[in-house]
Structure 1
Amino acid sequence: MKILISNDDGFRAPGIEALYQALKDVADVEVVAPEHNNSAKSNALTLHTPLYVQRASNGFRYVNGTPADCVHIALTGLLNYRPDLVVSGINNGANMGDDTIYSGTVGAAMEGYLFGIPAIAFSQVQRDWLHLNVAADKARELVLQMSRQGMISTKPWLLNVNIPNLPLDQMGHLKLCRLGRRHAAEAVITQQSPRGETMYWIGAAGPAKDEAEGTDFYATAQGHIAMTPLKVDLTDHDHLSYWAQNMPKLSGQN
C-alpha cells in the first residue's frame, strides 16, 4: 500500500509527524505538506504565483502553497506513482459541521478524491494536541482495517474523521455520523493599525446549532470517534423540481 500524507497546519506540525510515524511501517508513505499554516484554505489552488517544493531534514517535502496545491502537485508530477490512499491531518482542532466547507485538511483529502483516490481527513476535536498519540493510533487502526477488508482498492470515497482528545481507556467507538450545523460566526474583530488604519480579523466560529444524536458534534461530545462520508456534488437535488417549475418565469416564457 502506498499512502500520500498532507495537512493544513504545515509540515512542522506535531499532527502530521504523529500520523507519519503511525503509518510508516504499514505502508510506503510520502509526505507533501504546506510550508506554513494554511487553515481554512479549503480547496484553493495557487494559479498566479510559482510553487516550489523543498525537502526538510526529516525527509518531508513541503510546498509554498495550499493543502490542495500539495496534493495536486504530488499527483500530477511530483510522485512517479499513483498512491492507493491520500490521508490528511492530523488537524489541530475539529473539522465538523460547516467547518468542512472551509477546512484545508478536508481540502487536501478532497483533492485526492477528485483524482479518483480514496481519501481520509483526520482531526482532533480540541486544539491542544492532548493525547495526540492516541489519535494517531486510532488513525492507523482505521487505515489497517480498511486495508484488510479490501476497502482501499475499491472506487474512490472521501471520509471526514474527528477524534476526541481522550486517553485510550476513555475513547469511545467509531460512529458513522452526518455533519451537524453551526450558528453564524461571531462578529468581526476590528483594531487600529499603528498607521491608524482599521484592521479586520475574522471572528470565531459559531457554536453548534444542530448537535442532535447522529451528528458528528453529538458523537464526539459522547467521547466517540465521528466518521462522516462526504461528497462533492453541491447540487440541491431536493429543490430541482421547484426551480424546474419556475424556469418559464425566469426565462421569460410566461
Structure 2
Amino acid sequence: MRILVANDDGYLAPGLAALVEACRGLGEIDVVAPEQNASGTSNALTLQRPLTVWTAASGYRVVNGTPSDCVHVALTGLLPQRPDLVISGINNGANMGDDTLYSGTVAAAMEGYLFGIPSIAFSLSEKGWQHLDTAARVARSLLEQVLAEPPGAPPWLLNVNIPARPLGALAGRVTTRLGRRHASEPVIRQSNPRGEPIYWIGAAGDAREAGEGTDFHAVAHGHVSVTPLQVDLTDHALLPQWSRWLATSSGLT
C-alpha cells in the first residue's frame, strides 16, 4: 500500500503533519505539499513557469506551486510508483457546500481521482487547529475502514469535514450531500501606500441550504460529514430542455 499525502496550507502546516502521523503503519507514505499556503486555488495548474521541487528536513517533497500541481507532478514523474490512495489535509477550516469549488484541499484529492486513484480530502471545521487530534483520530479510523472495506470500485472521491470538538463529543459519521451558501460578502476596498485602490476578496456567505442531509447540518450537529463527490458538471436534468430549445432555435447549426 502506497499513500500520497498533500494539502493546501503548505508543507509546514500542523494539519499535514497530523495527517501523515495518522497514516503511520498503513503503508509507504509519500508527502508532496506546496511551499506556500495555497488555500482557495481550486484545481489550478501552473502552466506559465517551471516548477521546482525540493526536500524539506521532514522528508516531505515541496513544490513551489498549487495543491493540484503537487499531486499532478507526483503522479506524472516524481514518484517511482503510483500510489494506491491520495489523501489531502487536514485543512485549517471547513470545506463544505460551495467551498468545495474553491478548495485547494479538495482539488488535491480530486487530482488523484482524475488519475483514477481513490482519494479523500480531510478538513477540520474551524480555523485555528483546535481539536486537531480529534481530526487525526477520525482520519485514521476512516482510512483503516476504506482500506479494509473499500466503499466501491475505484476511483472514488470523498470530502470529509470533522467538527472541531473533543473526540468524545462527536456524534458519529454520516453520509451527506453538499449544502449551498449565500453569495460572498462584498470585496473590501483599501488603498496601498501610494493611494492606489486595492481589493480583498470578501468573506464567504452564510449557509443558505443547510437542512438535514447536508454537510453543514451534519457538522453543526457534531457529526463527521462524509460526502462522495464527482467531477461531472453536466446538468443532466436540463439536457432534454436544452436539446428542445436548440432544435427550435434559428441560430447557426
TM-score normalised per structure 1: 0.97
| Structure 1 counterpart of 2:220, one-letter code | A
Matches within 5 A, 1:110-121: 110-121=110-121
Matches within 5 A, 1:1-150: 1-150=1-150
2:196 corresponds in structure 1 to 197
TM-superposed deviation, 1:251: 5.0
Aligned to 1:141, the other structure's residue is in SS state helix
* Count of residue correspondences: 253
Spell out, residue by residue over 1:214-242, the C-alpha distance to the aligned partner (whole angstroms, 9 max, x if none): 00000000000000000000001010111
TM-superposed deviation, 1:253: 7.5
TM-superposed deviation, 1:151: 4.4
Spell out, residue by residue over 1:59-97, the C-alpha distance to the aligned partner (whole angstroms, 9 max, x if none): 011100000000000000000101010000000000000
- The 1-side partners of 2:133 and 2:53 are apart by 28
Aligned to 1:206, the other structure's residue is in SS state coil
- The 2-side partners of 1:58 and 1:253 are apart by 59
Spell out, residue by residue over 1:186-245, the C-alpha distance to the aligned partner (whole angstroms, 9 max, x if none): 010000111110000000000000000000000000000000000000001010111011
Instruction: Return 5+ residue gaps in structure 2 as ranges.
Output: none
- The 2-side partners of 1:141 and 1:211 are apart by 26
Matches within 5 A, 1:169-184: 169-184=168-183
| Structure 1 counterpart of 2:202, one-letter code | G
- The 1-side partners of 2:185 and 2:251 are apart by 41
| Structure 2 counterpart of 1:186, one-letter code | E
Aligned to 1:214, the other structure's residue is in SS state coil
- The 1-side partners of 2:221 and 2:154 are apart by 32
- The 2-side partners of 1:253 and 1:167 are apart by 61
TM-score normalised per structure 2: 0.97
TM-superposed deviation, 1:147: 1.0
| Structure 1 counterpart of 2:176, one-letter code | C
| Structure 1 counterpart of 2:178, one-letter code | L
- The 1-side partners of 2:252 and 2:117 are apart by 44
- The 2-side partners of 1:39 and 1:219 are apart by 23
Task: Report the RMSD for the aligned CA atoms in angstroms.
Answer: 1.3
- The 2-side partners of 1:146 and 1:110 are apart by 17
Mark the CA change 1:196 to 1:97 in structure 2 (over 3 Å): closer, same or farther.
same
TM-superposed deviation, 1:248: 2.7
1:162 corresponds in structure 2 to 161
Mark the CA change 1:251 to 1:52 in structure 2 (over 3 Å): closer, same or farther.
farther
- The 2-side partners of 1:199 and 1:151 are apart by 47
- The 1-side partners of 2:45 and 2:56 are apart by 22
1:244 corresponds in structure 2 to 243
| Structure 2 counterpart of 1:95, one-letter code | N
Q: Mean Cα displacement is larger for which, 164-173 or 241-250?
A: 241-250
Instruction: Return 5+ residue gaps in structure 1 as ranges.
Output: none
| Structure 2 counterpart of 1:178, one-letter code | R
Question: Structure 1 runs of 4+ off > 4 angstroms?
Answer: none
TM-superposed deviation, 1:249: 3.9
- The 1-side partners of 2:118 and 2:67 are apart by 17
